[in-house]
Chain A
């Protein structure tokens, strides 16, 4: 069974400070991992996918297969980064329709 764990429900940092949102996963195959962001009362938006190794809004995430982690990082947080962040795993094999979410981390960036 696949599982995604986000150990922090809440994370509060000051503007300009580095931020790291943790994500660990368990999956027996080769997963596709994503970060989604949800601003207040809006739809979920895809922020990052590990296969494209891109940087969006200054955020990056590296897949560490040894530690089964996919932590999201930003060197200098901005107030507009305040949102709910979800880590998600999608199968890469025959049953790749299923997207499993962690419970989310609410990031607050204080002025």
Chain B
């Protein structure tokens, strides 16, 4: 049981490049979310999903896309990277009941 797995752990992008942050969970959780963590800002919700085929925007969705074709996977796509997207990104998953989310180990992204 690996929990929530994120890849890569570190990434440096040039402005304008695109990339996909991977997230997979093996707990059969219905809910999955992407957060970004910035100093002094806490964690802010980017996108979330309540089940396969269903996604919606969170608090800071601009510049990011998501899809959820399976229960296990919830990739986050950066369309055209900008320096403002330099951050630590966390993926998390939860059961339908409100028992709290389980987090991945994070991806530290730097956009230059």
Shortest Cβ gap from B54 to chain A (Å): 10
Please state if B105 and A97 are interface contacts (CB–CB under 8 Å): no
Is B100 part of the contact surface with A, judged by Cβ < 8 Å?
A: yes
Given contacts A43-B90, A98-B48, A99-B92, contact A86 B43 (CB under 8 A): yes
Please state if B42 and A104 are interface contacts (CB–CB under 8 Å): yes
Size category, A interface: 20 to 34
Is A91 part of the contact surface with B, judged by Cβ < 8 Å?
A: yes
What are 25 A-B contacts with C-beta separation under 8 Å? A32-B98, A36-B100, A43-B90, A43-B103, A43-B104, A43-B106, A44-B90, A44-B103, A46-B101, A86-B43, A90-B100, A92-B98, A96-B96, A96-B97, A96-B98, A97-B31, A97-B48, A98-B45, A99-B33, A99-B94, A99-B101, A100-B45, A101-B43, A103-B40, A104-B42
Binding site for A on B (CB under 8 A): 31, 33, 35, 40-45, 48, 50, 58, 90, 92, 94, 96-106
